[in-house]
């Protein structure tokens, strides 16, 4: 029983990260119909830049803040330099571009940070807490709490603030939003900044547990994407549920089947969703107007 709980807890922890990555995918997808494969690199950068700033002497909270802001800025740059110039290109081209950006970021990270593993101290120490016979790291609570806080905050932003509602309107119908005076290029910039910042935050929170290196981004991107697909691409609620569900699935796979193949869980989920439930748990089937 406590074994099951252990697997569940570790699954929920990693699931929180997947939920955040999935949320990042969702925001950009809603704003621009683009699936941003570079999302995982934002997670990597969140952790990496924090490491850099921290080892340069900055206190941890400041280092984390710097990382999040820097990554958000990078997200904005990505939109300006790579996505916007290709406006109106077919989906295939945009997919190739985001993959290209993610590989480029990874290549630069390899040169700047090297291939070794980096980490920084956990926020509230390393002594595990004991719950019902299972152990959980304090950092895990930070991760889960952080994810929930982000979701609640964004929900409030999108439903309670004018700017948030403008973003929603743009994602619903870009032309109509422009016609009512919403600054759609700004909304795109904001979406990329938010998405990158959220990814970076996820990276900051989880690095003390999983550590980071230049190539962790790909796995996060793929799993976050699987989570978003599971929940229904474009649905924030789906991102949250999909992320936690995928994390738990992975934890259970690692525990009961094989830790070597735990990563396979995400890809089997992707294939399963596409075969049986293409719109995901909360997605809607769309019709094309002709």
**Per-position x/- string for 174-213, each x denoting binding to another protein as judged by CB under 8 A, each - no binding:** ----------------------------------------
Torsion angle of alpha carbons 174, 77, 213, 259, nearest 10°?
10
Is there a contact between 49 and 67 (Cβ–Cβ < 8 Å)? Answer: yes
Q: Binding to another protein by residue 288, rule CB under 8 A?
A: yes
Q: Binding to another protein by residue 51, rule CB under 8 A?
A: no
Buried b / exposed e along 220-242 (16+ C-beta atoms within 10 A): bbbbbbbbbbbbbbbbbebbbbb
Q: Binding to another protein by residue 20, rule CB under 8 A?
A: no
Nearer to another protein among residue 16 and residue 78 (C-beta): 78
Q: Binding to another protein by residue 259, rule CB under 8 A?
A: no
| 131 SS3 class | strand
For the chain, the 3-state helix, strand and coil shares in percent, each to the nearest 5, are 75, 5, 25
**Of 17-25, 140-148, 202-210, 273-281, which segment contacts another protein by CB under 8 A?**
273-281
Is there a contact between 5 and 135 (Cβ–Cβ < 8 Å)? Answer: no
Q: Binding to another protein by residue 92, rule CB under 8 A?
A: yes
Nearer to another protein among residue 92 and residue 162 (C-beta): 92
210: closest CA among 193, 228, 227, 223? 223
**Of 162-170, 201-209, 218-226, 244-252, which segment contacts another protein by CB under 8 A?**
218-226
Footprint on this chain of another protein (rule: CB under 8 A) = 35, 82, 85-86, 89-93, 95-97, 99-108, 110-111, 218, 222, 225-226, 229, 260-261, 263-264, 266-268, 270-271, 274-275, 278, 287-288, 290
């Amino acid at each position: 029983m406590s074994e099951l709980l252990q697997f569940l807890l570790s699954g929920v922890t990693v699931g929180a990260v997947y939920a955040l990555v999935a949320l990042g995918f969702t925001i950009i997808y809603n704003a621009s119909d683009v699936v941003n494969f570079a999302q995982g690199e934002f997670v990597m950068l969140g952790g990496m830049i924090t490491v850099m700033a921290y080892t340069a002497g900055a206190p941890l909270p400041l280092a984390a803040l710097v990382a999040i802001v820097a990554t958000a800025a990078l997200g904005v740059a990505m939109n300006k330099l790579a996505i916007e110039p290709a406006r109106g290109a077919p989906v295939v081209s945009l997919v190739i571009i985001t993959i290209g950006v993610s590989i480029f970021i990874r290549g630069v990270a390899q040169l700047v940070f090297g291939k070794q593993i980096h980490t920084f101290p956990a926020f509230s120490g390393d002594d595990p807490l004991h719950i019902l016979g299972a152990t959980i790291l304090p950092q895990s609570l930070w991760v889960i709490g952080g994810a929930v806080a982000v979701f609640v905050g964004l929900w409030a932003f999108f439903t309670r603030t004018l700017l948030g509602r403008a973003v929603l309107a743009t994602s619903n119908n870009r032309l109509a939003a422009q016609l009512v005076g919403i600054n759609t290029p700004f909304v795109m910039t904001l979406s990329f900044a938010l998405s990158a910042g959220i990814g970076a935050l996820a990276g900051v929170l989880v690095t003390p547990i999983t550590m980071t290196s230049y190539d962790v981004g790909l796995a996060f991107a793929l799993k976050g994407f699987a989570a978003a697909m599971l929940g229904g691409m474009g649905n924030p609620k789906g991102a949250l549920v999909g992320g936690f569900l995928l994390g738990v699935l992975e934890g259970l796979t690692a525990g009961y089947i094989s830790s070597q193949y735990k990563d396979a869980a995400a890809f089997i989920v992707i294939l399963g969703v596409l075969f049986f439930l293409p719109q995901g748990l909360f997605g809607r089937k769309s019709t094309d107007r002709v």
